């Protein structure tokens, strides 16, 4: 899956994935995710997402299923860059 940064606000970082994930429970489409600015590794996660996007690297998001943030997006806990 390829990730596209959707927006950055003072509340966090919104992510749009090109492939639909098997997540449910939040009002946003299953391609929309968010990283809260209060996340302890926020700057690292945003850096990984930007690197992944700029290099067009496959990315796997680790999410907190049924926990919503940033406009009903599924909350991201961690990011894995795939080879």
**Residue 41 and residue 50: Cα distance in Å, rounded?**
14
pLDDT at 56: 87
User: Which of these, 11, 60, 17, lies nearest to 36 by C-alpha position?
Assistant: 11
pLDDT at 7: 53
pLDDT tens-digit profile, the chain (83 residues): 555 555 555 688 998 888 777 787 888 888 889 999 999 999 999 999 999 888 888 888 999 988 999 889 999 999 988 87
User: The tokens of 27 are what?
Assistant: 């009002």
User: The tokens of 58 are what?
Assistant: 């496959």
**Residue 30 and residue 68: Cα distance in Å, rounded?**
12
Model's pTM, two decimal places? 0.81
């Amino acid at each position: 899956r390829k990730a596209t940064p959707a927006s950055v606000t003072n509340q966090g970082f919104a992510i749009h994935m090109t492939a639909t994930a098997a997540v449910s429970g939040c009002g946003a489409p299953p391609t929309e995710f968010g990283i809260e600015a209060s996340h302890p590794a926020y700057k690292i996660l945003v850096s990984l997402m930007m690197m992944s996007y700029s290099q067009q690297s496959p990315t796997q998001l680790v999410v907190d299923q049924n926990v919503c943030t940033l406009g009903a997006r599924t909350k991201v806990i961690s990011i894995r860059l795939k080879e």
